């Protein structure tokens, strides 16, 4: 019903691979070499027609390659962009604007901004009293950062929308507010949000998150860390499969993996 796709690297900047998860059962079901549309399409074309037709949505980040594969091979399936990736991109917007504000600040203002980087990115309920006071002082003295922080909270609230239409309406309202600002990075983010609005608002239909994908990627990262780097890509794929064996039969590598245990 639901699958998720992401990329992982054998080492930073080296030999990327595509990993596919069953988002209902939580299993990793396929690993392919590369991160292109063709690589993901290779997996999708292996699916029996009945299985492919039953897939309702695919969770992914906002890169274009995997989107292309889904549109070509699973035209009936919705693409769902997770909140994590949207908020991650918004955090970069805050960071970029903070650097601009710091560069043009006077000595006293720079002193006020020191140590506030993570305070701006954290949720308010994660801050202690001292941190909350420091953040509020900054926001009271910097209109641009205050606007970004308020918009961050409003952006997070999108995922509480009651329906697809409600979420789309809220997203459009958010973009209208953002584009009235004089902040270049905020306007750039707003344009990106509009370009990806369908995939973002599809969350309201399926409630899909990338939590399973991120958990799997953490496990893969631990393999890399324990091995202190893996030079052979095929061996890395093998280790990923061995540590992610499904409890039931896999149409892709069930018999092969069984012989590896």
Average pLDDT over all residues of the chain: 87
Query: Quick one: 214 and 250 in the same domain?
Result: yes
Q: Are residues 96 and 193 in the same domain?
A: yes
Tell me how far apart the alpha carbons of residues 171 and 161 are, in angstroms, rounded to a whole number.
10
Is the domain of 37 the same as that of 125? no
Last residue of a domain, which of 171, 197, 223?
197
255: confidence class by pLDDT, cuts 50, 70, 90? very low
Q: Check whether 107 has a pLDDT greater than 70.
A: yes
Whether residue 108 lies inside any domain: the answer is yes
Task: Considering only residues 220 and 59, tell me which one the structure prediction assigns the higher pLDDT.
Answer: 59
Least confident of 4-18, 131-145, 234-248: 234-248
Query: Do 98 and 175 share a structural domain?
Result: yes
Domain co-membership, 67 together with 100:
no
Do the domain assignments include residue 113?
yes
Domain end, chosen from 178, 197, 216, is at: 197
Q: Which of 61-70, 167-176, 204-213 is least confident?
A: 204-213
Instruction: Mark which of 158, 177, 197 sits at the end of a domain.
Output: 197
Q: Which domain holds residue 76?
A: 2-82+208-258
Residue 202 located in a structural domain:
no
Confidence of residue 9 (pLDDT cuts 50, 70, 90): confident
Count of the separate structural domains present in the chain:
2
pLDDT band at 256 (very low <50, low <70, confident <90, very high): very low
> pLDDT confidence of 257, banded at 50, 70, 90?
very low
Tell me, yes or no, whether 92 and 156 share the same domain. yes
Q: Is the predicted pLDDT of residue 260 greater than 50, yes or no? A: no
Same domain, 229 and 189: no
Higher pLDDT pick, 57 / 249? 57
pLDDT score for 259: 38
Residue 7's pLDDT is 87
pTM of the model: 0.81
Answer whether residue 203 is part of any domain. Answer: no
pLDDT at position 29 is: 87
**What average pLDDT does this structure show over 81-99?**
94
């Amino acid at each position: 019903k639901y699958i998720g796709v992401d990329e992982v690297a054998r080492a930073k900047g080296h030999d990327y691979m595509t990993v596919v998860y069953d988002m209902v059962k939580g299993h990793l079901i396929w690993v392919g070499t590369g991160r292109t549309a063709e690589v993901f399409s290779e997996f999708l074309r292996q699916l029996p027609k009945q299985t492919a037709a039953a897939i309702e949505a695919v969770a992914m980040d906002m890169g274009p390659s995997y989107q292309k594969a889904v549109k070509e091979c699973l035209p009936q399936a919705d693409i769902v962009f997770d909140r994590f990736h949207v908020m991650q991109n918004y955090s970069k917007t805050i960071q970029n604007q903070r650097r601009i504000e710091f560069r043009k600040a006077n000595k006293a203002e720079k002193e006020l901004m020191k140590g506030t980087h993570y305070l701006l990115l954290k949720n308010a309920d994660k801050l202690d009293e001292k941190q909350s006071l420091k953040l509020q002082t900054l926001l009271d003295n910097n209109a641009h950062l205050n606007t970004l922080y308020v918009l961050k909270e409003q952006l997070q609230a999108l995922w509480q929308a009651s329906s697809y239409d409600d979420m789309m309406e809220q997203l459009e309202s958010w973009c209208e507010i953002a584009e009235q600002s004089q902040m270049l990075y905020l306007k750039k983010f707003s344009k990106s949000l509009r370009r990806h609005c369908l995939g973002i608002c599809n969350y309201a239909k399926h409630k899909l998150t990338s939590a399973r994908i991120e958990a799997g990627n953490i496990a893969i990262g631990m393999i890399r860390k324990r091995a202190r780097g893996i030079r052979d890509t095929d061996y890395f794929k093998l280790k990923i499969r061995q540590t992610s064996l499904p409890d039931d039969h896999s149409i892709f590598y069930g018999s092969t993996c069984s012989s590896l245990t």
